[in-house]
Amino acid sequence: MKKVIALVVALISACAVSAMTTEATTTVYSNGDVNGDGTVTSYDAILVHHYLKGYWYAVNNSQLDALDANNDYIIDYADYEYILNMAVGNV
């Protein structure tokens, strides 16, 4: 009888686990939108500035493409200025 109960409990548990779904969210980083919130703001420029000053922990690997806002394959102060101009609407 104990084996039957254990089997029933195991089957119910297996069904419950298989019914669970997982959902992953992915953030898409566009040029200049370093934090991935959908808009380019001065905060994005701050993140670029931190990166340029050596605070590499301020951004993760998936944000590196967004850091290169002017698409010259170099992350430098030109990107910082470009993002600042994007934030105030000059680009």
65-76: pLDDT as tens digits: 999 999 999 999
CA torsion 79→69→85→39, rounded to 10°? Answer: -140
Confidence of residue 62 (pLDDT cuts 50, 70, 90): confident
- Residue scoring higher pLDDT (16 or 38): 38
Task: Map out the domains of the chain as residue ranges.
Answer: 24-91
Tokens of 67: 């850091």
Task: Map tokens 């089957």 to a residue.
Answer: 11
CATH 1.10.1330.10 fits 24-91, yes or no: yes
Beta-carbon count within 10 A of 29 CB: 20
Gap between the Cα atoms of 32 and 19, Å rounded: 40
Assign residue 61 a region (left: φ > 0; alpha: ψ between -120 and 50; beta: otherwise).
alpha
